[in-house]
Structure 1
C-alpha cells in the first residue's frame, strides 16, 4: 500500500487538473456563446431597421429602374442574412457558419450603403463614432469598423465583444496542457465575425 500512495496522489492531481482545465475551457466557450447571443440580438435590430426603412419607402412612379434594382438587391441581401442568422444560431461557433454570416452581412451592408450612402454610421469597437471622420491613432491590427444602417454603436460593440470572446476561447484551447483536454473533449476553434 505505501508504494502505491504516490501513484494515487499523482492520479488525483491529474484528475483535478483535467477537471479544472475543462471547466476553464467550457467557461470561455460559454462566454463566446453568450457574446454571440448579444451579437445576434443587435444584428436582428439592424435587419429590422433595414426592413422597416424599405417598407416605409414606397417607390415613387418616377423612380428609376436602377434604384428599384438596388432596392430588390437590398431586400434579397436582407432575406439571405435572416436565413443565415437562423442557421448560425444552431452552431454559433462553427467557423463555416460564421464565415457565411459575415459574407451575408457584408453583402447587406454594401447594398445598404449603395442605396443610402448618407445614412451610414460607423463606430469603433468601444462605441466611439468613427465616421464621417476616422479617429487618429487607430490601431491598424484591429478589424476595421463596419458601417451600420441603424445609428447605434450596439452592433459594433457586440461584434467586438464576440470577437474578443472567440479569441480568448481559441487561445485557451491551443495552450499545451489544455490542448489535450480540448482534443479529448473534441472542442474545436471558433471564428470571429470580421
Structure 2
C-alpha cells in the first residue's frame, strides 16, 4: 500500500488541503481581530465623550448641584460614569478575546447600559441637568459613524463562523480548537 502512487497522492492532497484550511481559518480570525481594532477605536470615543460631559458638568458654575434638586442631577451623572466604566472594562475584555461569546454579550449589554444612561441624562424631562448641545450632537454623530464598522466586524464574524461550519474545515476547527464568535447586535 505504501508503494502505491495513489496513496502518496492522497496523502499529499490531504496535507496541502489541511495547511490551506488552517491558513484560511487563521486569516479569517485575523480579519476579525483587525475589524475589532477599528471598532474599538470608535467605541473608545464614547468614553471620551462621557469624560468631556462629566468635566463640563463639574466645571459649570453650579457643578453637580442644580437649583431644583441636587440629588437628581448627581444620580444621572453617577449612572453615566458607572455605565462608562463597565463599558470600558467590557471593551478591554473583548480586546483580549474578540471571538469569545461571553465577551460579546458583556460588551453589548454594557453598551446598551451606556446608551440608556446617556439618553436618561439628555432626556427632555431631565430639565435640571444640562449637557452641552455640542456633546449631544457628537454622541449622535458617533452613533451613526460607528454603524459601518460594526457591520464590517459582524460580517467578519459571520465569515469566520461560516468557514468553521464548512464540512471539511470543521475537522480542522475542532482539531485546533477554533470556536465560533458572536456578532455584536
Give the distance between the partners of 1:42 and 1:69, measured in 2 at CA. 27
The equivalences for 1:61-140 within 5 A come to 61-64=66-69, 65-117=71-123
**Root mean square deviation, CA, Å:** 1.9
Give the distance between the partners of 1:150 and 1:47, measured in 2 at CA. 14
Could you tell me which of 144, 150, 154 is aligned with 1:163?
154
Aligned length: 165
User: Could you tell me the TM-score, scaled by structure 2's length?
Assistant: 0.83
- 2:29 maps to 1:36: no
Residue 47 of structure 2 corresponds to 47
Listed one character per residue, the Cα deviations across residues 1-23 of structure 1 (whole Å, up to 9, x for unaligned) are 99421111110001111111111
Give the distance between the partners of 2:168 and 2:12, measured in 1 at CA. 16
Please report how far the alpha carbon of residue 149 of structure 1 lies from its aligned counterpart in structure 2 after TM superposition.
2.3
- 2:154 maps to 1:149: no
Of the two, which has the highest radius of gyration?
2
Give the distance between the partners of 2:175 and 2:183, measured in 1 at CA. 24
Residue 129 of structure 2 corresponds to none
Q: Secondary structure, in 3 states, of the residue corresponding to 1:151?
A: helix
Deviates more, 1:49-58 or 1:35-44: 49-58
Distance 1:2 1:62, change over 3 A: closer
Higher helix share: 2
User: Could you tell me the TM-score, scaled by structure 1's length?
Assistant: 0.79
Please report how far the alpha carbon of residue 154 of structure 1 lies from its aligned counterpart in structure 2 after TM superposition.
2.9
Residue 12 of structure 2 corresponds to 12
Structure 2 residue runs of 5 or longer lacking an equivalent are 59-63, 125-137
Deviates more, 1:61-70 or 1:35-44: 61-70
Give the distance between the partners of 1:8 and 1:61, measured in 2 at CA. 81
Contact 1:109–1:149 under 8 Å retained in 2: no
Contact 2:65–2:73 under 8 Å retained in 1: no
Give the distance between the partners of 2:114 and 2:18, measured in 1 at CA. 44
Could you tell me which of 174, 178, 182 is aligned with 1:187?
178
